[in-house]
Structure 1
Amino acid sequence: MELTTIERAPADAHRALTAEQIAAMCRRAFGESAVVASARELGGGTFNTTYLVSLAPAQVEERRVILRVAPPDSAALSWDEAALMRRELHVQPYFAGLSTLAPRTLAADFTRQLIDRDYVFQTLLPGERWDDVADALSPAESLALWEQFGRITRTIHGTAGSAFGGPFPVPEFPAWSEAVLYRLACSLRTMAGASLDVTEMAAAIEIIRGGAAVLDEIREPRLLHGDLWLFNLLIERGAEGPRIVGVIDADRAFWGDPMADWTMFVLSKSASPDNRPLYDRFWEAYGRPPQTRASAFRAAAYEAMNVGVALPWAARHGHGDLVERGKRELREALEALRRLRP
Structure 2
Amino acid sequence: MELTTIERAPSDAHRALTAEQIAAMCRRAFGESAAVASARELGGGTFNTTYVVSLAPVEERRVILRVAPPGSAALSWDEAALMRRELHVQPYFAALSTLAPRTLAADFTRQIIDRDYVFQTLLPGERWDDVADALSPEESLALWEQFGRIARTIHGTAGSAFGGPFPVPEFPAWSEAVLYRLACSLRTMAGASLDVTDMAAAIEIIRGGAAVLDEIREPRLLHGDLWLFNLLIERGAGGPRVVGVIDADRAFWGDPMADWTMFVLSKSASPANRPLYDRFWEAYGRPPQTRASAFRAAAYEAMNVGIALPWAARHGHGDLVERGKRELREALETLRRLRP
TM-score of the alignment, normalized to the shorter chain, above 0.5: yes
> What SS is found at the alignment partner of 1:54?
strand
- Residues 44 and 243 of structure 1: is their aligned pair in 2 closer, same or farther, counting only changes over 3 Å? same
- Unmatched 5+ residue regions in structure 1? none
- Unmatched 5+ residue regions in structure 2? none
Cα distance, 1:100 vs structure 2: 1.1
Partner of 1:42: 42
Tell whether the 8 Å contact from 1:55 to 1:64 is kept in structure 2 after alignment: yes
Structure-2 separation of matches of 1:341 and 1:224:
26
Structure-2 separation of matches of 1:225 and 1:73:
24
Tell whether the 8 Å contact from 1:103 to 1:122 is kept in structure 2 after alignment: yes
Structure-2 separation of matches of 1:24 and 1:100:
30
Tell whether the 8 Å contact from 1:166 to 1:255 is kept in structure 2 after alignment: yes
Cα distance, 1:62 vs structure 2: 7.0
> What SS is found at the alignment partner of 2:235?
strand
Task: For residues 253-279 of structure 1, give each alpha carbon's deviation from its aligned partner in whole angstroms, at most 9, with x where no partner exists.
Answer: 000000000000000000000000000
Tell whether the 8 Å contact from 1:62 to 1:123 is kept in structure 2 after alignment: no
> What SS is found at the alignment partner of 1:245?
strand
Cα distance, 1:61 vs structure 2: 11
**What's the TM-score, normalizing by structure 2?**
0.99
- Residues 87 and 178 of structure 1: is their aligned pair in 2 closer, same or farther, counting only changes over 3 Å? same
Structure-2 separation of matches of 1:44 and 1:318:
18
Task: For residues 78-135 of structure 1, give each alpha carbon's deviation from its aligned partner in whole angstroms, at most 9, with x where no partner exists.
Answer: 0000000000000000000012100000000000000000000000000000000000
Structure-1 separation of matches of 2:8 and 2:236:
35
Partner of 1:99: 97
Task: For residues 152-184 of structure 1, give each alpha carbon's deviation from its aligned partner in whole angstroms, at most 9, with x where no partner exists.
Answer: 000000000000000000000000000000000
> What SS is found at the alignment partner of 2:240?
strand
Task: For residues 256-312 of structure 1, give each alpha carbon's deviation from its aligned partner in whole angstroms, at most 9, with x where no partner exists.
Answer: 000000000000000000000000000000000000000000000000000000000
> What SS is found at the alignment partner of 1:244?
strand
> What SS is found at the alignment partner of 1:38?
strand
Cα distance, 1:9 vs structure 2: 0.1
> What SS is found at the alignment partner of 1:239?
coil
Structure-2 separation of matches of 1:335 and 1:148:
35
> What SS is found at the alignment partner of 1:100?
coil
Structure-2 separation of matches of 1:202 and 1:2:
52
- Residues 241 and 33 of structure 1: is their aligned pair in 2 closer, same or farther, counting only changes over 3 Å? same
**What's the TM-score, normalizing by structure 1?**
0.99
For the aligned residue pairs, the C-alpha RMSD in angstroms reads: 1.0
Partner of 1:204: 202
Runs of 4+ deviating beyond 6 Å: none
Tell whether the 8 Å contact from 1:172 to 1:179 is kept in structure 2 after alignment: yes
Count of aligned residue pairs for this structure pair:
340
